Amino acid sequence: MQKYVPDTSVIIDGRISGMLETGKIKGKLIIPLAVVAELEHQANQGRETGFAGLKELQEVMKLVQAGKINLQYYGELPALEDIELRRVDSIIREIARELNATLITSDYIQAEAAKAMGIPVIFIESEKKELRKPRFTKFFDDETTSIHIKEGCKVLAKRGRPGKQKLVEVTKKALSYKEVDELASEIIEFAKRSNDAFIEIDRKGAMVIQYREYRITIARPPFSDGLEITIVRPIKKTRLEDWNIDKKLLERLEKEAEGILIAGPPGHGKSTLASALAEFYKEKGKIVKTMESPRDLQVSTDITQYTALEGDFEKTADILLLVRPDYTIYDEVRKTRDFQIYADLRLAGVGMIGVVHANKAVDAIHRMIGRVDFGLIPQVVDTVILVRDAEIKEVYSLEFAVKVPTGMKDADLARPVVEVKDFYTGEPLYEIYTYGEQTILASVKEAKKAKTKRKGRIEKMLEKYFSGEIVVGKKNVVVYATKDELKKVSPKKLKKLEKRIKRRIDIEIVG
């Protein structure tokens, strides 16, 4: 009787039950206990691959009960250390060699290692083919941006244009755990078999899959309090012309801007604008790449979408420097390391477009303080665009200057200042400078208001003694007073007033 030993990869892939049903393998199926232990370990971690593998073993058991195959579980349970150090593959190979059985795997390295040991191998290359549409697509219409599915709840859909959406129920009854679990299993099957799908993240309790334009997040306990599937997609792919960008901004984007931050709240169109910019630069003859996890920007096939290499965007950046793109879209810049990688690439000469979650344009700049050296900020970021309700609401430009910060008085307080200006009017809105050991981001308007308040207090204090005009300068105050008023204020009192207002008082006699 022919004996077969499947490994973990081919069980997770869901291919053994199909081979048994079609009669491609006949005889005795020997499943190492190491396979069961590894799948159980993955499932306990909340990883969808573990659940998928255990379900496949249940399908195999049904075929055993139907008399399709003889089944034997064999071997010893591996130690946790063996599982964590990925020694299970070698344990499975040793069992196949010991029993003189044929190893079945969809892991190329496992197959080559088995051949090197003289073990007969059936290598099943992962099928990547177009399948029917997954069932979740029936919940979407032309205006749906996201679907929210959770066990014990009705399916909810968020519909409408970005910033003006409403939540609606799309099922009449709540879905059971089994129904949600079946949807999750189907999605994972698509991720493994479709050319248009990738498993982007697979961690304890959470999996993120990109299927075509759909970004799918599956969450399980203990990470979440119940089985949940969230599916997000952009309503449409846009071109830069669709954003009604005026000639002045278009010229800046084409000729000057090379460090761009696109800021805005979640779901308001930041990534959509970033995708449009990517296409704009590509059509201008530029080499454009993206850095994303998950890879959900809607761009043409000419634009290569990179994810975190070995889970680290710093390694991705190292590769990008070898590829030499003209522009890179970094979606999303969130953690301190993200800002540092963005800055490193920009300082290396790569044009950068970063997508940042922020309610105001200035918040995106504020997030760079302390993460990027103060003096480098205008070299790293020259343009900030705020997107809200799928429209460009604000555009800031950043420039470097040496000046006295607004609100300060003495010329000897001049220092390097990063000016944040309204791009269209050129009006300074914010200033970034160092004060002592702190880096300050100050509103120009508020600084001027505070300065006016100080003047008002000085005038109010001196008006108690003098009725004439009072002119407040940076270092002195000129007071126009009568001889009678001056007689009432002794030199000692005048000195006290100067000390309180921190200015010299010059008296001009009138009348």
Q: Where residue 451 falls among pLDDT bands split at 50, 70, 90?
A: low
Within a domain: residue 176?
A: yes
Q: What is the pLDDT of residues 311-350, one digit of tens each?
A: 899 999 999 999 999 999 998 899 999 999 999 999 999 9
CATH assignment of the domain containing 213:
3.30.450.90
Same domain, 201 and 52: no
- What pLDDT sits at residue 129? 47
Identify whether the C-beta of residue 149 lies closer than 8 Å to the C-beta of residue 184. no
Q: Which of 5-14, 216-225, 237-246, 408-417 is predicted with the least confidence, judged by mean pLDDT?
A: 408-417
- What pLDDT sits at residue 46? 73
Residue 504: C-alpha distances to residues 94, 413, 473, 478, 480 (Å): 93, 19, 10, 9, 14
Highest mean pLDDT among 47-61, 274-288, 428-442: 274-288
User: For the chain, what is the mean pLDDT?
Assistant: 88
- Helix (H) or strand (E) holding 495, with range, is helix 491-501
Tell me how crowded residue 225 is: count the other CB atoms within 10 A of its CB.
Answer: 11
- What pLDDT sits at residue 481? 85
Same domain, 80 and 159: no
- What pLDDT sits at residue 51? 86
Within a domain: residue 452?
A: no
pLDDT at 362 over 70: yes
- What pLDDT sits at residue 15? 83
Same domain, 184 and 212: yes
CATH assignment of the domain containing 286:
3.40.50.300
Within a domain: residue 157?
A: yes
Within a domain: residue 454?
A: no
Q: Which two tokens stand for residue 507?
A: 């008296």
Domain boundary among 123, 156, 189: 123
Q: Which residues pair with 59 in a beta bridge?
A: none
- Residue of 185, 178, 149 whose CA lies nearest to 43: 185
Same domain, 80 and 144: no
CATH assignment of the domain containing 95:
3.40.50.1010
For residues 51-62, give the mean pLDDT. 90
- What pLDDT sits at residue 39? 92
Within a domain: residue 497?
A: yes
Same domain, 200 and 101: no
Q: What is the pLDDT of residues 137-184, one digit of tens each?
A: 899 988 898 999 999 999 999 988 766 788 999 999 999 999 999 899
Same domain, 383 and 255: yes
| Alpha-carbon 18 to chain mean position | 39
Q: What's the order of all strands across the beta sheet hosting 470-472?
A: 470-472, 476-481, 504-509
Q: Is 61 or 239 the better-scoring residue by pLDDT?
A: 61
Q: Where residue 47 falls among pLDDT bands split at 50, 70, 90?
A: confident
For residues 280-307, give the mean pLDDT. 90
* Bond prior to 221 in cis (omega within 30° of 0): no
For residues 384-395, give the mean pLDDT. 92
Within a domain: residue 129?
A: no
pLDDT at 251 over 70: yes
Domain enclosing residue 200, as ranges: 135-232
Same domain, 96 and 40: yes
Within a domain: residue 256?
A: yes
Within a domain: residue 453?
A: no
For residues 131-142, give the mean pLDDT. 82
Same domain, 142 and 257: no
Domain boundary among 123, 156, 176: 123
- What pLDDT sits at residue 82? 83
Q: What is the pLDDT of residues 72-105, one digit of tens each?
A: 999 988 888 888 778 899 999 999 999 999 999 9
Q: How many domains does the chain divide into?
A: 4
Residue 133: C-alpha distances to residues 189, 190, 194, 235, 295 (Å): 12, 9, 10, 18, 20
Same domain, 410 and 287: yes
Q: What is the pLDDT of residues 182-194, one digit of tens each?
A: 899 888 877 777 7
Same domain, 45 and 141: no
Same domain, 261 and 362: yes
Domain boundary among 173, 200, 232: 232
Q: Which of 199-208, 229-238, 280-289, 338-347 is predicted with the least confidence, judged by mean pLDDT?
A: 229-238
Q: Which two tokens stand for residue 26?
A: 């006949």
Same domain, 190 and 276: no
For residues 356-374, give the mean pLDDT. 91
- What pLDDT sits at residue 410? 61
d(CA 202, CA 206): 6
